[in-house]
Chain A
Amino acid sequence: MSNLPAHARAVVIGCGIVGNSVAYHLCRLGWREVVLIDKGPLPNPGGSTGHASNFIYLVDHSKEMTALTVESVNQYKEMGVFTQSGGIEVARTKERMQELSRRMSSAASWGIEPVSLISPAEVKDLVPFINETILLGGFYTPGVGVVDSLRAGTIMRERAQASGALQVVAKTEVVALDVERGHVRCVRTTTGEIETDTVVITCGVWSPRLARMAGTRIPLTPAVHQMIDVGPVPRFSGAKGDIEVPIVRDMDTNMYERQAGGDLEIGSYAHRPILYDPEDIPPIERAALSPTEFPFTQPDFELQMQHALELVPEIVGDERVGVKYAINGILSLTPDGMPVLGESPDVGGLWSAAAVWVKEGPGTGKALAEWMVHGSSEIDLHSSDIARFHEHQRTRAHVRARAAEGFNKTYGIVHPSEQWASNRNVRLAPFHERERELGAAFFEAAGWERPMWYESNASLLEEFGDRLTHRTAEWESRWWSPIINAEHLAMRERAGLFDLSAFTIFDIKGPGALPAVQRVTLRQMDVPTGRNVYTPVLSHNGGFKSDLTIMRLGDDHFRVVTGGASGMSDKKWFSDHLPADGSAQLFDLTSGMATLGLWGPRARDILMSATDDDVSSEGFKFGTCRTIDVGTVRVLASRISYVGDLGWELYVSIDQGLRLWDMLWEAGKPFGLAACGIGVYGTTGRLEKSYRAHGNELETEYNVVEAGMQAPRVKSEDFVGKEAHLRHREEAPATILCTLTVDDHTSKSGEKRYMLGREPVLTRDGHAITDRRGRRSYVTSAGAGPSVGKHILMSYLPPEHAVLGNGLAVQYMGERYPITAAVVGATPLFDPENIRIRS
Chain B
Amino acid sequence: MRVLVCVKRVPFTGGKMVLAADSMSLETKHLGFTISPHEECGVEEAVRLIEANGGESVVLTLGPPEAVEQLRDAMALGIDRAIHLQTEGAEWDPEATAAAIVDAIRADEAASGPFDLIFFGNESADSGGFQVGLRVAGALGRPAVTGLKGVRLDGASVRCEQEVDGGRDVYVLLMPAVLGVKEGLNLPRYPSVPGRMRAGRKPVAVSTPSRPAARLELVLLVVPPGQGRRAEVLGNGAAAAPAVVEMMRKIGVA
Tell whether, in the assembled complex, residue B193 and residue A282 are in contact, meaning their CB atoms are under 8 Å apart.
Answer: no
- Residues of A within 8 Å of B249, CB to CB, are none
- The verdict on B200 contacting chain A, using a C-beta distance below 8 Å, is yes
**Interface residue count on the B side (C-beta < 8 Å):** 28
Task: Give the contacts of B181-216 with A (CB-CB under 8 A).
Answer: 189-197, 200
- The verdict on A414 contacting chain B, using a C-beta distance below 8 Å, is no
- The verdict on B167 contacting chain A, using a C-beta distance below 8 Å, is no
- Residues of B within 8 Å of A288, CB to CB, are 12-15, 30-32
Given contacts A282-B15, A286-B30, contact A302 B200 (CB under 8 A): yes
Tell whether, in the assembled complex, residue A285 and residue B228 are in contact, meaning their CB atoms are under 8 Å apart.
Answer: yes
- Residues of A within 8 Å of B251, CB to CB, are none
- The verdict on A322 contacting chain B, using a C-beta distance below 8 Å, is yes
Q: Measured between alpha carbons, how far is A686 from B194 in the docked complex, in Å?
A: 57
Tell whether, in the assembled complex, residue B30 and residue A323 are in contact, meaning their CB atoms are under 8 Å apart.
Answer: no
For A309, give its contact among B29, B197, B232 (CB under 8 Å). B197
Tell whether, in the assembled complex, residue A287 and residue B192 are in contact, meaning their CB atoms are under 8 Å apart.
Answer: no
Given contacts A282-B30, A322-B192, A323-B191, contact A295 B12 (CB under 8 A): yes
For A323, give its contact among B33, B72, B193, B233 (CB under 8 Å). B193
Q: Nearest A residue to B188 by beta-carbon distance? A: A322
Q: Nearest A residue to B228 by beta-carbon distance? A: A285
Residue among A282, A286, A289, A306 with most chain B CB within 10 A: A286
Q: Measured between alpha carbons, how far is A227 from B69 in the docked complex, in Å?
A: 18
- The verdict on A169 contacting chain B, using a C-beta distance below 8 Å, is no
Task: Give the contacts of A303-357 with B (CB-CB under 8 A).
Answer: 305-306, 308-309, 316-324
Tell whether, in the assembled complex, residue B192 and residue A324 are in contact, meaning their CB atoms are under 8 Å apart.
Answer: no
Q: Measured between alpha carbons, how far is A318 from B12 in the docked complex, in Å?
A: 28
Tell whether, in the assembled complex, residue A286 and residue B193 are in contact, meaning their CB atoms are under 8 Å apart.
Answer: no
- Residues of A within 8 Å of B194, CB to CB, are 309, 316-317, 319
Minimum CB–CB distance from B32 to chain A (whole Å) comes to 3
Tell whether, in the assembled complex, residue A296 and residue B32 are in contact, meaning their CB atoms are under 8 Å apart.
Answer: yes
Interface string of B36-76 (1 = CB under 8 A from A): 00000000000000000000000000000000010011000
For A305, give its contact among B73, B190, B197, B228 (CB under 8 Å). B197
Given contacts A322-B189, A322-B190, contact A286 B15 (CB under 8 A): yes
Minimum CB–CB distance from A79 to chain B (whole Å) comes to 17
Tell whether, in the assembled complex, residue B193 and residue A321 are in contact, meaning their CB atoms are under 8 Å apart.
Answer: yes
- The verdict on A163 contacting chain B, using a C-beta distance below 8 Å, is no
- The verdict on A298 contacting chain B, using a C-beta distance below 8 Å, is yes
- The verdict on A41 contacting chain B, using a C-beta distance below 8 Å, is yes
- Residues of A within 8 Å of B72, CB to CB, are 298
- The verdict on A230 contacting chain B, using a C-beta distance below 8 Å, is yes
Interface string of A269-312 (1 = CB under 8 A from B): 00000000000101011111100001110100010011011000
- Residues of A within 8 Å of B189, CB to CB, are 322
Q: Measured between alpha carbons, how far is A295 from B30 in the docked complex, in Å?
A: 8
Minimum CB–CB distance from A823 to chain B (whole Å) comes to 59
Given contacts A298-B196, A305-B196, A323-B196, contact A41 B15 (CB under 8 A): no
Task: Give the contacts of B3-36 with A (CB-CB under 8 A).
Answer: 12-16, 18, 29-33
Q: Measured between alpha carbons, how far is A319 from B73 in the docked complex, in Å?
A: 15
Tell whether, in the assembled complex, residue A41 and residue B200 are in contact, meaning their CB atoms are under 8 Å apart.
Answer: no
- Residues of B within 8 Å of A298, CB to CB, are 69, 72-73, 196
Tell whether, in the assembled complex, residue A285 and residue B196 are in contact, meaning their CB atoms are under 8 Å apart.
Answer: no
Minimum CB–CB distance from A832 to chain B (whole Å) comes to 65
- Residues of A within 8 Å of B250, CB to CB, are none
Q: Measured between alpha carbons, how far is A230 from B190 in the docked complex, in Å?
A: 9
Q: Measured between alpha carbons, how far is A295 from B33 in the docked complex, in Å?
A: 8
Q: Measured between alpha carbons, how far is A309 from B195 in the docked complex, in Å?
A: 12
- Residues of B within 8 Å of A321, CB to CB, are 192-193
Q: Nearest A residue to B31 by beta-carbon distance? A: A288
Minimum CB–CB distance from B27 to chain A (whole Å) comes to 9
- Taking chain A's interface residues, is the majority helix, strand, or loop, or is none over half, making it mixed? mixed
Q: Measured between alpha carbons, how far is A308 from B193 in the docked complex, in Å?
A: 9
- Residues of B within 8 Å of A320, CB to CB, are 192
Tell whether, in the assembled complex, residue A305 and residue B32 are in contact, meaning their CB atoms are under 8 Å apart.
Answer: no
Q: Nearest B residue to A289 by beta-carbon distance? A: B14
Minimum CB–CB distance from A310 to chain B (whole Å) comes to 11
Tell whether, in the assembled complex, residue B14 and residue A230 are in contact, meaning their CB atoms are under 8 Å apart.
Answer: no
Minimum CB–CB distance from B67 to chain A (whole Å) comes to 13
Tell whether, in the assembled complex, residue B30 and residue A324 are in contact, meaning their CB atoms are under 8 Å apart.
Answer: no
Q: Nearest A residue to B233 by beta-carbon distance? A: A41
- Residues of B within 8 Å of A309, CB to CB, are 193-194, 197
Tell whether, in the assembled complex, residue B193 and residue A287 are in contact, meaning their CB atoms are under 8 Å apart.
Answer: no
Q: Measured between alpha carbons, how far is A294 from B72 in the docked complex, in Å?
A: 19
- Residues of A within 8 Å of B33, CB to CB, are 295
Q: Measured between alpha carbons, how far is A306 from B197 in the docked complex, in Å?
A: 8
Q: Nearest B residue to A308 by beta-carbon distance? A: B193
- Residues of B within 8 Å of A319, CB to CB, are 192, 194-195
Q: Nearest A residue to B192 by beta-carbon distance? A: A319
Q: Measured between alpha carbons, how far is A285 from B31 in the docked complex, in Å?
A: 12
- Residues of A within 8 Å of B12, CB to CB, are 288, 295
- Residues of B within 8 Å of A280, CB to CB, are 29-30
- Residues of B within 8 Å of A317, CB to CB, are 193-194
Residue among B13, B73, B197 with most chain A CB within 10 A: B197
Minimum CB–CB distance from B14 to chain A (whole Å) comes to 3
- Residues of A within 8 Å of B192, CB to CB, are 230, 318-323
Given contacts A295-B33, A323-B193, contact A285 B200 (CB under 8 A): no
Minimum CB–CB distance from A51 to chain B (whole Å) comes to 15
For B190, give its contact among A282, A306, A323 (CB under 8 Å). A323
- Residues of A within 8 Å of B73, CB to CB, are 298
- Residues of A within 8 Å of B29, CB to CB, are 280, 282
Residue among A230, A296, A308, A323 with most chain B CB within 10 A: A323
- Residues of B within 8 Å of A324, CB to CB, are 190
Tell whether, in the assembled complex, residue B32 and residue A295 are in contact, meaning their CB atoms are under 8 Å apart.
Answer: yes
- Residues of A within 8 Å of B16, CB to CB, are 285-286
Q: Measured between alpha carbons, how far is A827 from B168 in the docked complex, in Å?
A: 95
Tell whether, in the assembled complex, residue A305 and residue B193 are in contact, meaning their CB atoms are under 8 Å apart.
Answer: yes
Given contacts A285-B15, A295-B31, contact A316 B193 (CB under 8 A): yes
Minimum CB–CB distance from A46 to chain B (whole Å) comes to 11
Given contacts A287-B30, A305-B197, contact A322 B191 (CB under 8 A): yes
Q: Measured between alpha carbons, how far is A262 from B193 in the docked complex, in Å?
A: 17
Q: Measured between alpha carbons, how far is A282 from B14 in the docked complex, in Å?
A: 12
Q: Nearest A residue to B229 by beta-carbon distance? A: A285
Tell whether, in the assembled complex, residue B228 and residue A287 are in contact, meaning their CB atoms are under 8 Å apart.
Answer: no
- Residues of B within 8 Å of A289, CB to CB, are 14
Q: Measured between alpha carbons, how far is A520 from B220 in the docked complex, in Å?
A: 68
Minimum CB–CB distance from B20 to chain A (whole Å) comes to 13
Q: Measured between alpha carbons, how far is A712 from B18 in the docked complex, in Å?
A: 72
Q: Measured between alpha carbons, how far is A448 from B189 in the docked complex, in Å?
A: 56
- Residues of B within 8 Å of A322, CB to CB, are 189-192
Q: Measured between alpha carbons, how far is A296 from B192 in the docked complex, in Å?
A: 16
- Residues of B within 8 Å of A287, CB to CB, are 14-15, 30
- Residues of B within 8 Å of A230, CB to CB, are 192-193
Q: Nearest B residue to A43 by beta-carbon distance? A: B233
Q: Nearest A residue to B195 by beta-carbon distance? A: A319
Interface string of A227-254 (1 = CB under 8 A from B): 0001000000000000000000000000
Q: Measured between alpha carbons, how far is A305 from B233 in the docked complex, in Å?
A: 36
Q: Nearest B residue to A299 by beta-carbon distance? A: B69
Residue among B190, B195, B200 with most chain A CB within 10 A: B190
- Residues of B within 8 Å of A323, CB to CB, are 190-193, 196
Minimum CB–CB distance from B172 to chain A (whole Å) comes to 33
- Residues of B within 8 Å of A282, CB to CB, are 15, 29-30
Minimum CB–CB distance from B254 to chain A (whole Å) comes to 25
7 CB contacts below 8 A, A to B, read A280-B29, A286-B18, A288-B30, A296-B32, A305-B193, A321-B192, A322-B189
Other A-B pairs, 17, CB within 8 Å; known A321-B193, A323-B192: A280-B29, A284-B230, A287-B30, A288-B12, A288-B15, A288-B30, A294-B32, A295-B31, A298-B69, A305-B196, A305-B197, A306-B197, A309-B193, A309-B197, A317-B194, A319-B195, A322-B190
Which residue numbers of A lie inside 8 Å of B, CB to CB? 41, 230, 280, 282, 284-289, 294-296, 298, 302, 305-306, 308-309, 316-324
Which residue numbers of B lie inside 8 Å of A, CB to CB? 12-16, 18, 29-33, 69, 72-73, 189-197, 200, 228, 230, 232-233
